[in-house]
Structure 1
Amino acid sequence: MALTSFFQSDTPRSAAPRTLPILGWLVALICLLPMAAVAVAAATGGTETVQHLIGTVLGRYTGNTLLLVALVSIGTFAIGTGAAWLVTMTRFPGVRLFEIALVLPLAFPAYVLAYAYTHILDHPGIVQTTLRSVMGWGPRDYWFPEIRSLGGAAAMLVLVLYPYVYLLSRAAFIQQSGSTFMAARALGSRPLAAFFRVSLPLARPAIAAGVLLAVMETIADFGTVAYFGVQTFATGIYTSWFSMGDRAGAAQLALCLLSFALLLAVLERTQRGQAKYHDPSRGQRHHPPLTLTGWPATGAIALCSVPVLFGALFPIIALLNMGIGSEQDLLSSRYLGFIRNSLVLATTAAGLTLVAAITVGYYLRSRPGRPSTIAAYIARLGYAVPGGVIAVGLLVPFAAFDNALDAWMRATFDISTGLLITGSIWLLVFAYMVRFLAAALGAYEGGQALVHANMDAASRSLGKGPFATLRRVHLPILTPSLLTALLIVFVDVMKELPATLIMRPFNYDTLAVQAYRLASDERLNGAAVPSLVIVAVGLLPVILICRQVGRR
């Protein structure tokens, strides 16, 4: 009802075409505001801050961020592509189960995995304690990989981000014609050689899109790298803003990260537009799966089991064990407040983001052309922008507005307005909308393909305007896609940490903030409780995705 009432217009039908572009561009300009504000704040910050950053931390931030991106790219490509090819092109015991189970790690935020594996692999953890007990070693008698390191952060990110590559590459392998693969086999290529020479090159656009999506999530990550003590641009923005009080430095670091993220977004759009493949036989001849037996089947089972075990099963067992031994009470008034705050933010942001996605998506459909295409492209840019950058970009102009308004009210009426905008949850909700609008817009446009253009023509012939057509024709058909978009944004907001940590009002904490605070104080058992709630909520869209995978 909320969606239909929003688009219920009392204005004449002739006014609707003029209103729709205004609403569409209003959403686009809101998404553009934080990026423009970051650029302006960085440009007016002075050269002293830039010189200080270059001479102190910029090199370390750049090196760590690029190395983390490289490791995550390689890891997600290897696991996601390999698993997708095995479950698509081969048959072995349990393959149907692995098709679904390989998506499960997507429900975990990387920082939750970091808490679980620190509890397992750190010096006082069960692995090293057992090793010392069995071998009779002292603390300095052996070497063990350090989990709190850049390599550890990369491993956590790979385990939760490889499903992006898996889902996209699996869809690409399914759509490939079997004739090309069988031609390579007929020419003497073994299955593995045919995979590298034929299947992999044909799926390259989808694989590259999945890897770039994982890279964007990597540069946006804050919780994992902050907990492991890895200095990247994401942690540098938070440190400059809060610990050092250097807003110009935070804006300039945010501009560096924004430039890198936008470069990745442009590369992704460019390679997707240029890489094309056409095979007229694709729809008539599918690739016959290879049946694996013996050692090859055992190897396939082992390769598919590793990411599921380490990315989902072991962390859940560890978190449950940690949570049972903690003193955190989910039913206490304090925790109920965390849950309430999280649900209020997630619900409000999901509803607002969905309305914005419908506005931009319907504007693009009803008024196709360069203005609507540009507006839709700007609206999608937020997904490539880390949450910390969006937070800085919104806080800088609105904090200046709040301060100017408060000074004017004091001078004129002797009344203090305080932080009228930056002290409310609404600015945080708008940050969520900017960050996750692309996900909602993608789900909406995917469902919009089911609405044939003849339906619009029939509605117009019956005298219905654009808003009435949207309300009476489009929205009822798009209900499943709209619910999917709503659920995806809801869960993303529940998991989001950097923007929430920077922009939340005073004493307005969420489950993600509580988990981060407890983990920062080395109270991992306590951090497991809010982490489990976040994972439980994150399983909802993953189950939805698994059902779609199972049907296909």
Structure 2
Amino acid sequence: MPIIALVFSAFEMDQSGSFQHLLETVLLTYSLNTLLLIIGVVFFSFVFALPVAWFVACCDFPTRKILQWALMLPLALPPYIVAIVYTDLLDYSGPIQQFLRKLMGWQHYSDYFFPDIRSLFGAILILSLALYPYLYLLLRGAFLGQSGELFQAARSLGLSPIRAFIKVSLPLSRSATAVGLSLIAMESLGDFATVNYFAVNTLTTGVYDTWLELGSLNTAAKISSLMLLILVILITLENYSRRQLKVYQGKGATQTELGFVLLGWKKYAVLFYAWGLLFFAFLLPILTLLYYAYHYFEQSLNQSLWLFSLNSVWLAVIVAFLGVIIALIVNFYHRLSPGIFAKMTIRLSSLGYAIPGTVVAIAVLIPFTSLDIGLNRWLVEHSFSRVGLLFSGSLFILVMAYLVRFSAIAVGSIDSSLNQVSPSLDHAARSLGLSPAKTIRRVNLPLIRKGMLTAFILVFIEAMKELPTALLLRPFNFETLATYVYQFVSDEMIELAALPALIIVLMGLLPFIIVNRLMEKER
């Protein structure tokens, strides 16, 4: 419904002339910046993730067991938090440039050259550091699942380890690479806070500005539709590039059994690269936030922090709970009544996560604003008092947008767990006289409880971190931790943003550890 409403609204006549003005002035620049951002983040994420995924999956070196889960930790850090940390460190007034000026005797900015972090390239690097774990996770899983016998056969034919990796392992992981890079491209397309903080104008910032500053929902819908078109083109190109790709592997030795033992300079090079990546992507931002949170603890700890933390938690809990309910309904409908319609239901319910948060916000706002207008008009016509913005001006629309965006995570998690439950168990329960409802309650639900908990935690984490949707749709006098941090960041007050930012990270980190432990036990 939101996507249909968005497309219809985009084709309506623009009465304000805002879109025509943008088209003649800055829309081309916004589109070019968006394209360059996506290409850059995809490239650097691939460069960051590919080596560590291979080393962790197929090589033996000190601290490998720590790195295999630690390299996923940047997922708990929202990109805009990483952005404010690096801006504070690398700006003209930051400690690094101050140290260089003192060391070299420079007096003014014109005396030396230092790259500007507040730039398109800076945004690309920050987003790459924050998003590479998406590709790392998928590539590591792909390498672990590959048949080691194919690699050994390539080696026996005279290929060096590097050439065998390029000619055998990398092509076999193409599907995982394509999916991971697609996720990263979607996240880059939908990022708002990082590019806005770095003053890089993209289509996402265009949607935000046209709605909140120009007040033109129609223009915002047109730009959102353009982003949706870019998204469709990306997914289509990715699927088209793999249209004839088929991978068949035996069930021989896995890559982990290859166990290349790294010695000498190779060992130290891998350790330096892997731990260096983890340091810049996670440890340095966390240590910086801890430093500021400690020194500004009394100023940061106030009633507003507790109130907004509570708002974020209970909003995330509601969204996670409803997301799991939706996922259970969709998946069990498909299990009990398999067919084309059931498959379409699962696919349609999973589309929201691919759509940027700003686009989802505008797409949800359009139908519910129309519903509010129609409801109030009907009430007045029948001599009742107006109820105001019952849907579009309350928390209802925020919860609705979160569900459109994040239900896909719950659907995928529960679908994965349910696929491991053999249908023969359902048949046995039905043959013993249980109804479908009792079969679900007494057989299926106990067997997928870990998948349900994982789905709940993953949706909870995403809802806690979400910023663009909350900025556009939150009711008056309602703030979340993400919007609270963003206000301080916008005012260049990173010291006061550190403590609420750490709470967001902690809220994501603890559930992340729980999910990781569940996966280890399941394996």
Fold conserved (TM > 0.5)? yes
1:101 and 2:70 are equivalent in the alignment:
yes
1:296-335 map, 5 Å:
296-326=266-296, 331-335=301-305
Number of residue pairs aligned between Structure 1 and Structure 2:
520
Shift in CA distance, 144/415, structure 1 to aligned 2, threshold 3 Å? same
1:89-238 map, 5 Å:
89-140=58-109, 141-238=111-208
Identity of aligned residues (%): 41
Structure 1 spans left out of the alignment, 5+ residues: 1-32
Greater mean deviation of Cα atoms: 534-543 or 336-345: 534-543
AA paired with 1:276? K
1:264 Cα deviation from its structure 2 partner = 3.1
- Contact 2:454–2:515, Cα closer than 8 Å, also in 1: no
1:223 Cα deviation from its structure 2 partner = 1.0
Shift in CA distance, 461/85, structure 1 to aligned 2, threshold 3 Å? same
1:228 Cα deviation from its structure 2 partner = 0.9
Q: Distance in 1 between matches of 2:500 and 2:360?
A: 25
Q: Which residue of 2 aligns with 1:391?
A: 361
1:414 Cα deviation from its structure 2 partner = 5.4
Q: Distance in 2 between matches of 1:179 and 1:327?
A: 56
- Contact 2:146–2:255, Cα closer than 8 Å, also in 1: no
1:354 and 2:327 are equivalent in the alignment:
no
1:152 Cα deviation from its structure 2 partner = 1.1
1:477-516 map, 5 Å:
477-516=447-486
> Which of 225, 228, 231 is 1:258 aligned to?
228
1:36 and 2:4 are equivalent in the alignment:
yes
1:476 and 2:443 are equivalent in the alignment:
no
Shift in CA distance, 49/319, structure 1 to aligned 2, threshold 3 Å? same
Q: Distance in 2 between matches of 1:436 and 1:296?
A: 42
- Contact 1:42–1:252, Cα closer than 8 Å, also in 2: yes
1:384 Cα deviation from its structure 2 partner = 0.7
AA paired with 2:499? V
Q: Which residue of 2 aligns with 1:419?
A: 389
1:540 Cα deviation from its structure 2 partner = 2.4
1:547 and 2:522 are equivalent in the alignment:
no
Q: Distance in 2 between matches of 1:225 and 1:455?
A: 51
1:266 Cα deviation from its structure 2 partner = 4.2
Shift in CA distance, 452/329, structure 1 to aligned 2, threshold 3 Å? farther
- Contact 1:115–1:519, Cα closer than 8 Å, also in 2: yes
1:458 Cα deviation from its structure 2 partner = 1.9
- Contact 1:116–1:528, Cα closer than 8 Å, also in 2: no
Q: Which residue of 1 aligns with 2:34?
A: 65
1:485 Cα deviation from its structure 2 partner = 0.3
Larger RCO, structure (CA 8 Å, separation 6 or more) = 1
1:372 and 2:334 are equivalent in the alignment:
no
> Which of 243, 247, 254 is 2:213 aligned to?
243
AA paired with 2:4? A
Q: Distance in 2 between matches of 1:494 and 1:272?
A: 35
Greater mean deviation of Cα atoms: 287-296 or 378-387: 287-296
1:279 and 2:249 are equivalent in the alignment:
yes
Q: Which residue of 2 aligns with 1:46?
A: 14
1:208 Cα deviation from its structure 2 partner = 1.3
1:424 Cα deviation from its structure 2 partner = 1.4
- Contact 1:99–1:549, Cα closer than 8 Å, also in 2: no
Q: Which residue of 2 aligns with 1:15?
A: none
Q: Which residue of 1 aligns with 2:309?
A: 339
Q: Deviations over 1:440-472 (max 9, x none)?
A: 111101110221111211222233332222222
Q: Which residue of 2 aligns with 1:9?
A: none
AA paired with 2:494? L
